[in-house]
Structures are given as C-alpha cells and as structure tokens.
Amino acid sequence: MSKAKTLVLRAPGTNCDMEAAFAFEKAGADVSMVHIGELIRREKKLADYRIMVLPGGFTYGDDLGSGKVIANEIVTKLGDDVKLFVENGGLIIGICNGFQILVKSGLLPDPSHLNKIQKTTLTNNDSGKFECRWVNLKVNPESNCIFTKGIAKMYLPVAHGEGKFVADAETLKAVDVAVYYADANDTPTMSYPDNPNGSLNCIAGICDSSGRIFGLMPHPERYVTGSQHPRWTDESFSEQGNGFKIFENAVDWVKRL
C-alpha cells in the first residue's frame, strides 16, 4: 500500500494552504507544506510525493493576472520535474488560484501542452466584481476525474475575481468537464448568481484525460466538516462536509497503488 505523501505548494500570496493541508490530513495523507523556492533550489523534490496541491490565494499579488507569475515559474524552472511527476502517475489538484495556475501553465486541459501552448484561460467575472458566495455544483458522472468519483453534487463556496472559464469551440467540445455550476434543481446553468462568473458551458472544474489532474474554482477545502456550512447552527448537517470526499478519493486512490 502506497503512502499518500502530499505536497501543498506555497508561494508569496498563497492563503488557502492551511485549509488544503487540513483537508488532506483529515483524509489520511502525509502532508508537507513546501514553498516553491524549496523546489526551485532542489531542497525538496517533487518526485518524493504522490499528490501535489496548488491551493487558493493570490500568488504574487496576481499582478500579471491570476496565477500567471507562478505558472511561468513552474514552466521555466520546474517544467521537467512536473512533467516527470505527471508521467509517473502523480495526482494534481488546483483550487481557485491553483486552477488558474494549471490552465496558464498549459497543464490543463492536456499536460502535454506544458510549456507549449495555453488552450484555455480563466478571466474576469462577467459581474465585473469579486464573487464571494456559496454555489451549487453538479458533478459530471461521465468524467474521468479521480477526485470526483462517487459524488453527485456539492454545495461549496467561491471567492474569486477571475473565474470565468473560456476556450475556443473546439477545445470546449473536447475538454473533460468534471464539475458544473448548477441551480437549486441540480441543473447546469449560465444564470447569475448560480453561475457566479459566466463560465462557458457552466464549467466550474475540468480534468485531463487521465483524470489525475483536476482544477476547479470552488473551494472544497473550505467545507470538509459540517460546522463550516454557513447555516450549521440553524440546520442539521452531517459531520462530513461536501468537499471532503474529493480529498478522500485522492488519498484512497494513492493508497491502493
């Protein structure tokens, strides 16, 4: 049985690293918080881990656009390490800013595009403002995504200013959509505020063809226990939050190897 050694990548401006680490530890992973500088200086090795987490936040202040600076660092300074990590069967999850990093580095929707071409992007919300709210999500049962197996729907928070998923028509047809923004009836929707940013095809998260690289704008790490629900004091909720199974699925997958 493999040990689910998990690396939570940190950089200046990361602010959801502790929540992501807590979620993976709760799921049974062996978690290390690693600054990107430690990987660049080879003080830590990506190859020593089975799961890499790109958490939410505002890396480098999003000064050149959300996730762009750290995406460039990954491509130019860690590209070979990341490519080998993917080829060796590693799992990657990017949440919010992490999703932005995955698409802007080219790792999603196809990791073979790393350092070659960016096929999709996440851009300014249609509302023209930062969206901080809870949303309904419908999981695509046809997706290859390892992280979402056994999940039908979720209720999770979003917190972003650049979350609108866009791509050309050909890419939109081919992309593996793992999670959709949905209305109260669990129907994918383009209507605001259920779709908080105007993402094309109601896309809230995608994965690569292997199902091992997953990016999503909503924050599953912010709802792994029932008391994190906004109405937990007024209503009865299970001890486990909607987002927890995403982390549990990843850890279980690694442990079965």
Distance CA 94, CA 136 (A): 19
Question: pLDDT tens digit string along 156-192?
Answer: 999 999 999 999 999 999 999 999 999 999 999 999 9
pLDDT in tens, 27-67: 999 999 999 999 999 999 999 999 999 999 999 999 999 99
Question: What's the pLDDT score for residue 86?
Answer: 97
Position 66 scores a pLDDT of 95
> Residue 148 — very low, low, confident or very high, per pLDDT cuts 50/70/90?
very high
pTM: 0.96
Report the alpha-carbon distance of residue 47 to residue 34 in Å, rounded. Answer: 13
What residues are annotated to the active site? 96, 219, 221
Unique residue bearing structure tokens 């050909």? 170
Q: Rounded CA gap, 104 and 152, in Å?
A: 28
Interval 114-124 mean pLDDT: 90
Convert the pLDDT of each residue in 197-231 to its tens digit.
999 999 999 999 999 999 999 999 999 999 999 98
How confident is the prediction for the chain on average, in pLDDT?
Answer: 96
The per-residue pLDDT for 2 is 67
1 pLDDT exceeds 70?
A: no
Confidence of residue 139 (pLDDT cuts 50, 70, 90): very high
Of 130, 121, 120, which Cα lies nearest the Cα of 170? 120
Compute the CA torsion angle 7, 51, 90, 3 (nearest 10 deg). 100
Q: Is the pLDDT of residue 256 over 80?
A: yes
What residues have CB less than 8 Å from 87, skipping those under 6 apart?
none
Candidates 175, 153, 21, 185; CA nearest to 102 is 175
Give the residue extent of every domain in the chain: 5-255
| pLDDT at 115 > cutoff 80 | no
| CA–CA gap between residue 156 and residue 199 (Å, rounded) | 16
CATH code for the domain defined by 5-255: 3.40.50.880
Q: Is the pLDDT of residue 127 over 80?
A: yes
* Chain segment 73-99, per-residue pLDDT in tens: 999 999 999 999 999 999 999 999 999
Helix pair angle (244-255, 17-26), 10° resolution: 60
* pLDDT tier, 3 (very low <50, low <70, confident <90, very high otherwise): confident
Measured CA to CA, the distance from residue 248 to residue 43 in angstroms comes to 29
φ/ψ region of 127 (left if φ > 0, alpha if ψ in -120 to 50, else beta) reads: alpha
